[in-house]
């Protein structure tokens, strides 16, 4: 494996070197204004070497050649950084493209027959049959059947997942493989618009757009470049006034050293690497803006089930109320769960079997099934005029009261007791009578409290949304350590809380996987949809988690903050660099005519020529030295914004001042010996 990684990295480096030269094209360089100025300066020095009479240059040929070579390598190092970042994305895209090749589709025709065609011929709305061993030919939703699907080509996870029609786990992705059983899939994307197509385009950088923060920083860099250009131009008449004729090559060297070439060279690579880090974390960001927004998040909306808790709420006990026996409430709980395919429903039947309760499902085959809805918050059966219901306690209570029934006096106390234990009570009723409660247990994930504490250190507020009653929600919220919670929440509640936070000027993130989560995912600044969820959720979100792990939003926020911190740290370092270069070059340019300027030569550099060349060499080699940091990112430690700013100024501000003093002095000693 190590040998593979070495060969893989070696291939990327070779391709990046070739791309570095290709990117010398001025039309390409114009996209990076700072480095374009460096390239123009390099071409001017080259012209001075080839036609010195045109410039009336008196500088030694060797000096001009040295300046040209150093400037050329400065540009190549900058191009190499960008090419290396792009190369990593393209390598990942190439492996994904292999997934697409040669996929056949079994199109289901209207007459009930199957026709084998190429997946490229499929269109939105077509229905395909996918059997054991077949690749899913395109993105779609299962409309019939159940199958075990290998999603390793997309997610990297070897364990197959179960997908079936209906619910929030009916979405399938083109390129995945059915390993058992069969499914009928309705295609939801035309060729070229599938999830895999979007993923390929994004990871290879084909559709990467500069983010608002990156655009703002580019404007700052261009402004600084223009200011320093004006400074250098005004130095010419000032120098002539004191009797110094400054060489054009020296002025170009000064300009290149003073403009923020370091961050200008690495800015694009930092942005690409930021998206790449998210992708390598098995999260597909639909844009660089989404990653950047994650770094500025103030509030995170989290579902309780599956995110804060394991989500496997299972029946633990049947509790009668009023004058009902335990056997009677157990039998009625079974009836309400016969056609409930949720884990909770199946757990009711499993617990009843353990208690040696038997039943005949055939008696209820003609029953009217009442499915669970987020609005009604209950489900059940209507059998020959008898109404069986199971659901949230308050929903069942209101339902019974509307039928003229009487609510048992001990219902509230017993449901509150379950809630205080952190469980979820479900009420069971027949016609207008409540028989008892089903005690559902859920467990908070270990370590989740510590993760929320990290978010709190970042200044991020966490809000838990749950359909549970207030007592249960409060117990789980306290155990998990969230800042706030919303009990008995509906999809509308999620949108409302997102809008309330946004109206306060905050950026909001949330996770979701169902169709009912789609509006909230679209409203949030960062919407993280689960790959196992519905197509509607994935379309509404601006990020998709290929592993379908809702808690990953916490890591996404950390990656976003790392991206912003890396950009800020290297910008601070780059601008601080200019101070040391100023003390190297300015004295070298004026000391001969103005001996007093020697006082500024605090580094004790060997000669004016070696000082200029040393500063220029340092300016060039610092770029490749910082490439690993730009690609990997600055290590993020959760802390407040003020502490983070102070830490960055201390490390990268002061470091940016002192490192060039040491580096330029060391290079000057070598240059002095060579000269």
Q: Give the tokens for residue 534.
A: 């519905």
CA atoms within 13 A on the CB side of 140: 31
Residue closest to 141 by CA, chosen among 491, 511, 515, 510:
515
What's the rounded Cα separation, in Å, for the pair 439 and 253? 76
Q: Indicate the DSSP class of residue 521.
A: H
Q: Helix axis angle, 248-258 relative to 553-590, nearest 10°?
A: 150
Are 454 and 416 a contacting pair, CB within 8 Å? no
Phi, psi of 613 (to 5 degrees): -65, -40
Q: Is 493 a catalytic residue?
A: no
Long-range CB pairs of 232-236 (<8 Å, 24+ gap) are: 232/258, 235/589
Q: Indicate the DSSP class of residue 591.
A: T
578 marked among binding-site residues: no
- Residue from 303, 442, 578, 606 carrying the catalytic annotation: 303
Q: Give the tokens for residue 378.
A: 């209950």
What residues have CB less than 8 Å from 192, skipping those under 6 apart?
A: none
340 marked among binding-site residues: yes
Find the helix or strand (DSSP H, E) in which 330 lies. Answer: helix 326-337
Length of the chain: 675
The C-alpha torsion from 266 through 267 and 269 to 271, rounded to 10°, is 160
Burial class (CB in 10 A: 0-12, 13-18, 19+), 330: buried
292 marked among binding-site residues: no
The C-alpha torsion from 325 through 330 and 335 to 338, rounded to 10°, is 180
150 marked among binding-site residues: no
- DSSP annotation string for 562-585: HHHHHHHHHHHHHHHHHHHHHHHH
Q: Give the tokens for residue 100.
A: 């697409």
Alpha helical stretches, state H, 259-287: 261-280
517 marked among binding-site residues: yes
3-state DSSP call for residue 76? helix
Q: Indicate the DSSP class of residue 207.
A: T
CA angle 645, 288, 566 (to 5 degrees): 25
| Strand 378-383, strand 161-164: pairing | unpaired
Annotated binding-site positions for ATP = 340, 344, 390
Annotated binding-site positions = 340, 344, 390, 513, 517
Which residues are marked as active site? 303
Annotated binding-site positions for Mg(2+) = 513, 517
């Amino acid at each position: 494996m190590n040998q593979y990684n070495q060969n893989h990295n070696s291939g990327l480096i070779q391709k990046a070197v070739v791309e570095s030269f290709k990117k010398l094209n001025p039309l390409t360089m114009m996209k990076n204004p700072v480095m374009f100025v460096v390239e123009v300066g390099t071409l001017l020095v080259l012209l001075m070497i080839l036609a010195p009479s045109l410039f009336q240059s008196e500088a030694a040929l060797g000096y001009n050649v040295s300046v040209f070579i150093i400037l050329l390598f400065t540009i190549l190092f900058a191009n190499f950084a960008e090419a290396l970042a792009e190369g990593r994305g393209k390598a990942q895209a190439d492996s994904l493209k292999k997934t697409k090749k040669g996929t056949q589709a079994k199109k289901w025709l209207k007459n009930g027959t199957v026709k084998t065609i190429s997946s490229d011929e499929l269109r939105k709305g077509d229905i395909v049959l996918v059997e054991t061993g077949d690749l899913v030919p395109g993105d779609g939703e299962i409309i019939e059947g159940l199958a075990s699907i290998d999603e390793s080509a997309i997610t990297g996870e070897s364990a197959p997942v179960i997908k079936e029609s209906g619910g929030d786990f009916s979405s399938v992705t083109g390129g995945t493989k059915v390993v058992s059983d069969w499914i009928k899939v309705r295609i939801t994307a035309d060729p070229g618009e599938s999830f895999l197509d979007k993923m390929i385009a994004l990871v290879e950088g084909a559709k990467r757009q500069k983010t608002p923060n990156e655009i703002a920083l580019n404007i700052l860099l261009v402004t600084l470049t223009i200011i320093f250009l004006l400074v250098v131009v005004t130095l010419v008449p000032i120098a002539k006034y004191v009797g110094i004729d400054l060489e054009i090559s020296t002025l170009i060297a000064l300009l290149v050293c003073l403009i923020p070439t370091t961050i200008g060279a690495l800015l694009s690579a930092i942005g690409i690497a930021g998206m790449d880090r998210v992708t390598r974390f098995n999260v597909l960001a639909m844009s660089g803006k989404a990653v950047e927004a994650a770094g500025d998040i103030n509030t995170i909306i989290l579902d309780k089930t599956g995110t804060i808790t394991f989500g496997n709420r299972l029946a633990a006990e049947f509790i009668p109320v009023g004058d009902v026996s335990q056997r009677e409430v157990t039998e009625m709980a079974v009836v309400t769960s016969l056609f409930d395919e949720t884990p909770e429903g199946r757990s009711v039947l499993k617990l009843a079997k353990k208690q040696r309760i038997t039943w005949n499902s055939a008696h209820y085959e003609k029953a009217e099934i009442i499915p669970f809805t987020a609005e009604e918050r209950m489900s059940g059966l209507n059998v020959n005029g008898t109404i069986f219901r199971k659901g949230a306690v308050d929903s069942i209570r209101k339902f019974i009261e509307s039928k003229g029934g009487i609510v048992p006096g001990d219902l509230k106390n017993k449901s509150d007791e379950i809630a205080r234990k952190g469980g979820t009570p479900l009420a069971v009723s027949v016609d207008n009578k409540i028989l008892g409660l089903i005690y559902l247990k859920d467990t908070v994930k270990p370590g989740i409290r510590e993760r929320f504490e990290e978010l709190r250190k970042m200044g991020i507020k966490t809000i838990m949304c749950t359909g549970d009653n207030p007592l249960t929600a409060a117990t789980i919220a306290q155990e998990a350590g969230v800042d706030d919670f919303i009990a008995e929440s509906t999809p509308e509640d999620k949108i409302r809380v997102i809008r309330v936070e946004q109206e306060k000027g905050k950026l909001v993130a949330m996770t979701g996987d169902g169709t009912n989560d789609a509006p909230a995912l679209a409203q949030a600044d960062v919407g993280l949809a689960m790959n196992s969820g519905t197509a509607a959720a994935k379309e509404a979100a601006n990020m998709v988690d290929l592993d379908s792990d809702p808690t990953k939003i916490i890591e996404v926020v950390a990656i976003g903050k790392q991206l912003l911190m890396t950009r800020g740290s290297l910008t601070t370092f780059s601008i601080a660099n200019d101070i040391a270069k100023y003390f190297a070059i300015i004295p070298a340019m004026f000391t001969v005519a103005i001996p007093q300027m020697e006082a500024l030569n605090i580094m004790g550099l060997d000669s004016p020529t070696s000082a200029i060349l040393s500063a220029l060499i340092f300016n060039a080699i610092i770029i490749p030295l910082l490439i690993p940091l730009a690609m990997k990112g600055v290590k993020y430690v959760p802390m407040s914004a003020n502490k983070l700013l102070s830490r960055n100024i201390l490390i990268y501000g002061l470091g940016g001042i002192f490192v060039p003093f040491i580096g330029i002095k060391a290079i000057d000693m070598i240059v002095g010996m060579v000269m």
